[in-house]
Structure 1
Amino acid sequence: EERDTIDLAIILKENTKRLFMYIEKLPFVLNS
């Protein structure tokens, strides 16, 4: 069960990273 929690934390971290990358690219998409 402890390992599941660690896996979830890693998944959340990756998702957050992707979200920030998406937000950074968004203004360029809206401006073009």
Structure 2
Amino acid sequence: MPKDTLALKFELEKRGIKYNLIDALLKDNENLQ
């Protein structure tokens, strides 16, 4: 695999984790209301 592809994959995974955390926080807020 080219380095660029690995770097891109890593970036997307980092962002995916961030989105999952944000999604979880939003769901928690909905549950509290």
- Identical-pair percentage: 17
User: TM-score under structure 2 normalisation?
Assistant: 0.75
Divergent runs of 4+, >6 A: none
* Number of corresponding residues: 29
Aligned-partner Cα distance in 2 for 1:15–1:8: 11
